[in-house]
Structure 1
């Protein structure tokens, strides 16, 4: 899975856990741990450009400030790009590709929307990541994913993984067939990790949501050279491959959003 998506997932899972601890007047059990620096900026549009105003130097400071502004939950927001020139499953390997991912802070006064920006620092030889608040106290953006129960997306994903396994097997792609089968097992089995091995925020999720996240991580085959995206076929097989692959990408994104958003300390309508 691309680092930017994985980080959005971590930010919402850990953020809801910490917001819950703040609401209960408890100290958080853990600190945020990211492999690269993460800062937060308030973006204000002026004419045709954005003015960047420092908001928080790290995730914990960000959460505490959001809490002070009335934020009670974080949610993931995903929307397909609908780009007719390149499918999201292919563009996801490029910075900013793969559809639109936002972190939503739900407040009594509206919602704030944060988008990540990844820049490679030649000087420091690592990624520099900043989240910018592009909307503040905004009406909640519509998303059909919010109304999907975990059991529904789990059933749809199981059915589709069967189709992926059949296609991969029939086209001599045994390695990918085993990958899809393992993802299917993840949806049918209790967590393979012990309670001690399960990350704190993940352990707070219902078992079905843990299964969805595990399956999505395993079945995420959308990369560059050597990945599922790199395959080509002839005739009708190519059309079937593209249809199945695009549908899998959308199903996995939906599973991620449904599972991660269940981590809110109170139901978010």
Structure 2
């Protein structure tokens, strides 16, 4: 899973649990450590994670909504790198309108190790309105996601990359169909449905985009050898968009 997308999903889901039912939103992944430093700023003040949530609620915020830029399929090849992939952020709902918090990741030295400094800055909404897909029922989102997985699983077999079909795409389809799944990298608050959990589990299981050793590494060459480069590009882009949009639909499902 792309670390930037993972953090956006974490913030959105934990934040919604807190804003809806006052659930504990503390997270080791968002605490300041030697390897990560997360802050939120409106340009004049800065907050740490839980203080930011309290500030939002005091200002009338009722929900968090993860959004991303249009045409995410164009960004799939860079999604495994810091700063790559579709641009995304978090909109605060119920408070000021058209405001979005956009993350900026920057690496630096802290003591003897590298630390990621991540700053979420409030600004005018500039990613456009959420796509129509964001408002589809989770059952329909899951159906479309399943179709993307079926297509790429068939492609993997055609280009003699069955490893990906057997270890990622087929298990992802099985999760969508109700099979047991590994525990998520974080606990979704109780405000989320089992269906939302199932979709997110399938997303995490089938996120194959990265650098060395990923679906972006050897499979393109295999596709070339089988004269399926164009199909590889098209279906991979479709899967990336489906993964991102399915994840967003799951964490945003408590809004609609």
Fold shared per TM-score above 0.5: yes
2:26 to 19, 28, 31: 31
Note closer, same or farther for the CA distance 1:108–1:183 as it changes in structure 2 (3 Å cut). same
Q: Is the 8 A contact 1:74 1:106 kept in 2?
A: yes
Note closer, same or farther for the CA distance 1:115–1:169 as it changes in structure 2 (3 Å cut). same
Note closer, same or farther for the CA distance 1:157–1:108 as it changes in structure 2 (3 Å cut). same
TM-score, structure 2 length as denominator?
Answer: 0.86
> Could you list the per-position Cα deviations for residues 64-123 of structure 1 after superposition, in whole angstroms to 9, with x for gaps in the alignment?
10111110000100123679xxx3111223333211201111024414200111111123
Note closer, same or farther for the CA distance 1:244–1:18 as it changes in structure 2 (3 Å cut). same
Q: Which residue of 2 aligns with 1:59?
A: 49
* 1:202 CA drift (Å): 4.7
Q: Is the 8 A contact 1:182 1:218 kept in 2?
A: yes
> Could you list the per-position Cα deviations for residues 233-257 of structure 1 after superposition, in whole angstroms to 9, with x for gaps in the alignment?
2264001111110000111111011
SS at structure 2 position matched to 1:210: helix
Q: Which residue of 2 aligns with 1:48?
A: none
Q: Which residue of 1 aligns with 2:65?
A: 75
Consecutive unaligned residues of structure 2, counting only runs of 5 or more, are 31-35
Note closer, same or farther for the CA distance 1:109–1:128 as it changes in structure 2 (3 Å cut). closer
Note closer, same or farther for the CA distance 1:236–1:198 as it changes in structure 2 (3 Å cut). closer
CA distance in 1: counterparts of 2:76 and 2:61, whole angstroms: 32
Q: Which residue of 2 aligns with 1:192?
A: 181
Q: Which residue of 1 aligns with 2:160?
A: 172
* 1:135 CA drift (Å): 2.1
CA distance in 1: counterparts of 2:173 and 2:8, whole angstroms: 24
Q: Which residue of 2 aligns with 1:144?
A: 132
Q: Which residue of 1 aligns with 2:198?
A: 211
Aligned length: 244
C-alpha root-mean-square deviation of aligned residues, in Å? 2.5
Is 1:10 aligned with 2:10? yes
Consecutive unaligned residues of structure 1, counting only runs of 5 or more, are 23-27, 44-52
TM-score, structure 1 length as denominator?
Answer: 0.82
Note closer, same or farther for the CA distance 1:30–1:79 as it changes in structure 2 (3 Å cut). closer
SS at structure 1 position matched to 2:213: coil
CA distance in 1: counterparts of 2:45 and 2:95, whole angstroms: 23
CA distance in 2: counterparts of 1:21 and 1:202, whole angstroms: 9
CA distance in 2: counterparts of 1:131 and 1:11, whole angstroms: 11
Note closer, same or farther for the CA distance 1:180–1:200 as it changes in structure 2 (3 Å cut). closer
Q: Which residue of 1 aligns with 2:33?
A: none
Structure 1: which 4+ aligned runs deviate by more than 3 Å?
A: 80-83, 190-194, 197-200
